[in-house]
Chains A and B, each alone.
Chain A
Amino acid sequence: MRTVLLASLRTHTRRYGAALLAIVVGVVFIVVTAALSSSVRNGLSAGIGEPYAGADAVVDDPSPEDAARLIDAAAKSGADAWMIGWTTQQVARDGKVLDSSADVGQVPDRPERRWQKLVDGRFPSGPGEAVVDVNAAKVGEIGVGDHLRVGTGTGALDVTVTGLVDSPSTYSVASVYLLWSDLARWTDRLYVTSLAWSGSGDLAAARGAIDDVVPDADTVAVDAYVQKLQKDVNNGVDVIAIVVLLFAAIALLVAVLVINNTFAILFAQRARDFALLRCVGATRRQVVRSVRLESLALGVLAAVTGVLGGLGLGHGLVALVRHQWPSARLGPAEVAPVWLIAAAAVGLGVTLVAAWLPTRRVVRVSPLAALRPDDSTRVSTRTGRVRVVVGLAVVALGLAALAAAVAASSPPVLVVGGAGTFVGVLLLGPVLVPGLIRTAGRLAHRALGPVGRLAAGNAVRNPRRTAATAASLLIGVTLTTAVLTGMASSRTALSAEMDEQYPVDLAVTGTATLPPDVVTRLGAIDGVDGAVSVPGAPAEIAGLGKVPVVAEPSGAATGVRPVLHGDLPSVGSRQVVVPWDLLGDGVEPGDRVVVTVGDRSARLRVVGGEGWGEAALVSTSTLHRLAPGAATQAVWLRAADGADPQDLAGSVEAIGSPVGAGLQNGLARRSYVDVQLDVVTGGVVGLLGIAVVIALVGIANTLGLSVLERGREHALLRALGLTRRQVRRMLAAEAVLLAVVATLVGTTLGVLFAWAGVRALVEPAVDGAHVVLPWGQLALVVATSALAGLLAAVVPSRRAAKVTPAAGLALE
Chain B
Amino acid sequence: MTDLAASTRGLTKSYGHGDTLVHALRGVDLDLPAGRFTAIMGPSGSGKSTLMHCLAGLDQPTSGSVTVAGRELAGLDDDALTRFRRDHLGFVFQAFNLLPMLTAAQNIWLPTELAGRDRREPALAARFEQVVDTLGISSRLTHRPAEMSGGQQQRVAIARALVTAPAIVFADEPTGNLDSTTSAEVLAFLRRSVRELGQTVVMVTHETEAARYADDVIVLTDGQIASRVAA
Contact = CB atoms under 8 A, between A and B. Distances in A.
Interface string A450-463: 10011001101100
A716 B101 CA distance: 14
Contacts, number: 87
A716 B97 contact: yes
A475 B105 CA distance: 39
Contacts of A450: 110, 113-114
A804 B53 CA distance: 11
B42 interface: no
Interface stretch (B76-84, B126-134, B220-228): B76-84
Q: How large is the interface on B (under 10, 10 to 19, 20 to 34, 35 or more residues)?
A: 35 or more
A458 B101 contact: yes
B95 interface: yes
B85 A719 contact: yes
Interface string B102-116: 100010001101111
Given A449-B113, A461-B100, A809-B58, A723 B145 contact: no
A805 interface: yes
B144 interface: yes
A520 B205 CA distance: 98
A13 B58 CA distance: 31
B146 interface: yes
Interface string A336-364: 00000000000000000000000000000
Interface string A791-812: 0000000000000111101100
A374 B115 contact: no
Given A457-B101, A457-B102, A723 B96 contact: no
A729 to B, nearest CB: 12
B52 to A, nearest CB: 9
B59 to A, nearest CB: 4
A461 B101 CA distance: 7
Given A378-B100, A461-B101, A806-B53, A722 B114 contact: yes
B115 A721 contact: yes
B79 A377 contact: no
Nearest to B107: A720
B99 interface: yes
Contact of B110 (A373, A379, A720, A724): A720
**Majority secondary structure, A binding face:** helix
A315 interface: no
A718 interface: yes
B146 A379 contact: yes
A374 B83 contact: no
Nearest to A456: B101
B190 interface: no
A378 B111 CA distance: 22
A720 B81 CA distance: 11
Contacts of A805: 53, 58-59
A373 B177 CA distance: 9
Contacts of A376: 96
B91 interface: yes
B86 interface: yes
A720 B111 contact: yes
Nearest to B170: A719
A716 B99 contact: yes
A809 B95 CA distance: 9
Contacts of B93: 716, 719, 809
Nearest to A811: B96
Given A379-B146, A450-B114, A723 B83 contact: yes
Contact of A716 (B49, B59, B79, B96): B96
A450 B49 CA distance: 29
> Closest 6 interchain pairs by CB?
A721-B86, A457-B101, A806-B59, A806-B58, A806-B53, A450-B113
Interface of A: 373-374, 376-379, 449-450, 453-454, 457-458, 460-461, 712-713, 715-726, 804-807, 809-810
Interface of B: 49, 53, 56, 58-59, 78-79, 82-83, 85-87, 91, 93, 95-102, 106, 110-111, 113-116, 144-146, 160, 172, 177
28 contacts: A373-B95, A377-B146, A379-B144, A450-B114, A457-B99, A458-B101, A713-B96, A713-B100, A716-B93, A716-B96, A716-B97, A716-B99, A719-B58, A719-B91, A719-B93, A720-B91, A720-B110, A720-B114, A721-B82, A721-B83, A721-B87, A722-B114, A723-B78, A723-B79, A723-B83, A725-B79, A806-B58, A809-B93
